[in-house]
Chains A and B, each alone.
Chain A
Amino acid sequence: MKHRGLFLLQLGFTLLVSAFLIVPVILSILAGLTVNYFVGLESGLTLRWVIEVWTGYRETIFLSIGLSLACLAVTLVLGVPTAYVLAKRQTALTRAIEELLVMPVAVPGLATALALIVTYGSVSGFRTSWAFILVGHVLFTLPFMVRSVLAVLSAIDLQTLEEGAASLGAGFWSRFRDIVLPNCRAGILAGSLMVVTLSMGEFNMTWLLHTPFTKTLPVGLADAYASLRLEIGSAYTLVFFLMIMPLLLGLQAFAKPRPVKFVAEETE
């Protein structure tokens, strides 16, 4: 009976924690749909705020979508080959490379953004284009793609599979195309969802990297929180939720989200 009590105690605690995380989400969704949040729900429900956000801020939404897809493309091109090499060779050098790649996640985004600005800020065409933000996003999301693909590649006996393909006459690129890529599909999928989700929400760097013409969704959110009424901030947040919801559901369905780890690990 003592165990039953302990169970209920833990369940209650966990429910409280869930409430702490979910209640503000619900509140903000309601606020975005309420005519006047200060008055409360009695004031009635409306889509007015959502429409206002859409007309005023849809550019930021499109930019964020485009940016996250571009970021995905770049991290795929850079990250999958890197993960393959790291899986293939486990030497002190490849471990150092892996550590180094994680640095942009460990180092505060503000520092990375400042470093980029002091180095490339004077390249005017670059500074004012969305490619400038893209660079920051790629730095920040690349380790997630690499780790995700690497985890899958380390779990299979890549070496022997490749030797098997080679014994059947497959050269390097055939092996990469027919054996390596298909077998890390799960990792690529999980990594892709993670990269798009993170790029969509990145703020720490983007706030410094953006220009008035390259405002992303989170930048717009910060603007709205700072200067507009609560209902509009909430409606904007609601739009953000709607956009990342499919990504999060995808992450939960296809793969356990894989936070990047900074501490050495033996097994995956």
Chain B
Amino acid sequence: MRRDVQRLIFLLLPAGIFFAAFFLLPMARLFFIGGSGKTGWAAYAAILIDSHYLSSLISTLGVAAATTVATLIISGISGVFLQRHKFPGNAALVAMLTFPLAFPGVVIGFMVIMLAGRQGLIGQVTQALTGDKLVFAYTLSGLFMGYVYFSIPRTILTVMAAAEKLDPKLEEAARSLGASPWRVVLDVIIPGLKPAFISAGAICFATAVGAFGTAFTLAAKINVLPMVIYTEFTLSANIAMAAALSFVLGAVTWIVLALARTAAGSTVAAAG
């Protein structure tokens, strides 16, 4: 009834005002500032025309795609395994795999340095084995490693929740019809987990596109879009270009998520 609707609107009001004032309005402003620089609205096209920006866009998308694929494979295997087999130590493994869940990007970057940096474990081991010190923390490979590290915990959680809802009877039915374990994985498990994979994959991709902390910690020279935006903003003081680029970056992430949404349809039941 009418009173009810009024009350509900009243309850939505605080969040609504906050959101409009501090997100919708600033985003609109960012959009106009993006078109107010030396090149005008052409700034929005620069990302595709200017070879410098284009190459960083390509490497950003490349790292993000690689991260998504690697994370899904790793988390898919371990997540289903941990959900299906309850053994002593299972809970401890789950705890370890989800421990880095809330690490900020900077800390992830530091973890990569601990592993693959100049004084890192990989370097020491390779030096002891081959005499050559393998150091890749400060490159795109290091960034890739960091993003995978970042994405595994949350993806495993999503996969485990989805695997919990898979009906084991479907697998039993497939096996009773003579399917080998691999066929069961291909025909039953992966289709069953597909919505969770799409949902989790979209998030992997979006974070890898937009994250900044890890790249910032590893090296200022890694040529990915967030770093370029940061450089435009602070070093070149080219606010219009920074605004245009970050608006495009936001749009790209948003489109990826929207596409995932369409692909998953309304049947997605991935939980978290």
Contacts and interface: CB of A to CB of B under 8 A. Distances in A.
| Complex contact flag A–B (Cβ < 8 Å) | yes
Interface of A: 2-3, 6-7, 10-11, 13-15, 17-18, 20-25, 27-28, 31, 37-38, 77-79, 81-82, 84-85, 88-89, 97, 100-101, 103-104, 106-112, 114-116, 118-120, 135, 138-139, 142, 172, 197-198, 200-204, 207-208, 218, 221-222, 225-226, 230, 233-234, 237, 240, 244, 247-248, 251-252, 256-268
A236 B235 CA distance: 28
B152 A111 contact: no
Contact of A25 (B11, B99, B102): B99
A47 B29 CA distance: 49
Nearest to B229: A110
14 contacts: A14-B97, A15-B93, A81-B12, A108-B250, A112-B26, A142-B19, A225-B113, A240-B107, A256-B272, A257-B98, A257-B101, A258-B272, A262-B199, A262-B260
A11 B264 CA distance: 30
A256 B160 CA distance: 11
Interface in B78-94: 78, 81-82, 85, 93
Interface string B244-272: 00110110011001001100111111111
Interface residues of B, number: 93
A207 B56 CA distance: 21
B153 A21 contact: yes
Contacts of B46: none
B105 to A, nearest CB: 5
Contacts of A234: 110, 114
B217 interface: yes
B242 A114 contact: yes
Contact of A264 (B96, B109, B203, B266): B266
B178 interface: no
B15 A203 contact: no
The 10 A-B residue pairs whose C-beta atoms are closest, nearest first, are: A108-B210, A115-B26, A201-B104, A111-B246, A81-B11, A24-B111, A115-B30, A107-B250, A203-B213, A119-B26
A197 B100 CA distance: 11
A18 B211 CA distance: 23
A175 to B, nearest CB: 11
Secondary structure dominating the interface of B: helix
Contacts of B181: 2-3, 6
A119 to B, nearest CB: 4
A221 B261 contact: no
Contacts of A225: 106, 109-110, 113, 217
A263 B257 contact: yes
Contact of B211 (A38, A108, A264): A108
B239 interface: yes
Nearest to B247: A111
A108 B14 contact: no
Interface in B1-39: 4, 7-8, 11-12, 14-16, 18-19, 22-23, 25-27, 29-30, 33
A191 to B, nearest CB: 12
A208 to B, nearest CB: 7
B27 A115 contact: yes
Which of A6, A81, A138 has the largest number of chain B CB atoms within 10 A?
A81
Which of A7, A106, A110, A248 has the largest number of chain B CB atoms within 10 A?
A110
Given A10-B77, A120-B26, A218-B213, A138 B246 contact: no
B18 A138 contact: yes
B115 A23 contact: yes
Contact of B26 (A20, A81, A118, A264): A118
A27 B114 contact: yes
A264 B25 contact: no
B157 interface: yes
Given A110-B210, A204-B211, 9 more contacts: A97-B12, A110-B230, A114-B233, A197-B102, A204-B213, A230-B119, A240-B107, A261-B199, A262-B257
B149 interface: yes
